[in-house]
C-alpha cells in the first residue's frame, strides 16, 4: 500500500511537471488548514503494541494500520489520504486546528507506518489520530481507541 501511494505521489509530480512545460496549469495543493474529506468507514488502529502490552527496556516499535484510506506524506494533495500522528499520555487535540508537534504528539509526516519510540518506565496511553496534508484531523476524525502499555 505504501509503495502505491508513493507511486501515486510521483505520478502527480510528473503530471505537474509535464503541465508546467506545456503551459497548462494544474491546480496547486491547498496550503490552508482546511480538513479534507474522508470515507466514513475509515479506521486507524495499532498493529502493535496491543492493549495491556508490557514492554521491557523502553524502546519499542509502534506499528500503525489504516483501513479505507491511504497514507500519504504531509503536503500531498491526494483525496482520501492522510498521515499518522501518535498521541502519548494526552487527550485528543482540537479537531479544527493542526495537531500540535511536541513530545506528546508525534508526527509521521513522511508517511511512516511504523516507528521506534522510547518511553520511560511506567504506564502510558497511546492513541492514533490521522491528519490531512496540513496536519489537521479529518472531518469526521479518524482516531483509534486509546490503549495502555506498561514500560518496565
Tell me the whole-structure pTM to 2 decimals: 0.76
**Model pLDDT, residue 6:** 45
147-151 and 54-55: which strand pairing? parallel
**Model pLDDT, residue 41:** 87
- Asked whether residue 55 is domain-assigned, the answer is yes
Count of domains forming the chain: 1
- Asked whether residue 23 is domain-assigned, the answer is no
**Model pLDDT, residue 105:** 98
> Mind listing the pLDDT tens digit for each residue in 117-138?
999 999 999 999 999 999 999 9
**Residue ranges of the chain whose pLDDT lies below 70:** 1-39
CA end-to-end span of the chain = 34
- The grid coordinates listed for 30 are 491547498
Return the exposure string of 94-132: e unless at least 16 CB atoms fall within 10 Å of the residue's CB, then b: eeeebbeeeeebbbbbebbbeeeeebeeeebebbbbbbb
**Model pLDDT, residue 30:** 42
For position 85, which CATH number holds?
2.60.40.10
Amino acid at each position: 500500500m505504501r509503495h502505491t501511494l508513493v507511486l501515486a505521489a510521483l505520478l502527480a509530480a510528473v503530471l505537474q511537471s509535464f503541465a508546467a512545460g506545456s503551459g497548462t496549469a494544474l491546480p496547486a495543493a491547498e496550503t490552508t488548514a482546511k480538513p479534507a474529506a474522508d470515507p466514513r468507514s475509515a479506521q486507524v488502529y495499532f498493529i502493535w503494541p496491543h492493549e495491556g502490552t508490557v514492554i521491557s527496556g523502553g524502546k519499542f516499535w509502534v506499528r500503525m494500520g489504516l483501513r479505507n484510506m491511504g497514507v500519504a506524506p504531509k503536503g500531498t494533495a491526494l483525496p482520501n489520504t492522510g498521515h499518522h500522528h501518535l498521541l502519548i499520555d494526552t487527550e485528543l487535540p482540537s479537531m479544527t486546528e493542526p495537531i500540535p508537534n511536541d513530545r506528546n504528539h508525534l508526527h509521521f509526516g513522511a508517511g511512516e507506518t511504523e516507528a521506534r519510540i522510547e518511553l520511560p518506565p511506567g504506564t502510558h496511553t497511546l492513541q492514533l489520530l490521522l491528519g490531512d496534508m496540513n496536519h489537521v484531523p479529518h472531518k469526521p476524525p479518524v482516531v483509534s481507541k486509546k490503549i495502555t502499555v506498561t514500560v518496565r
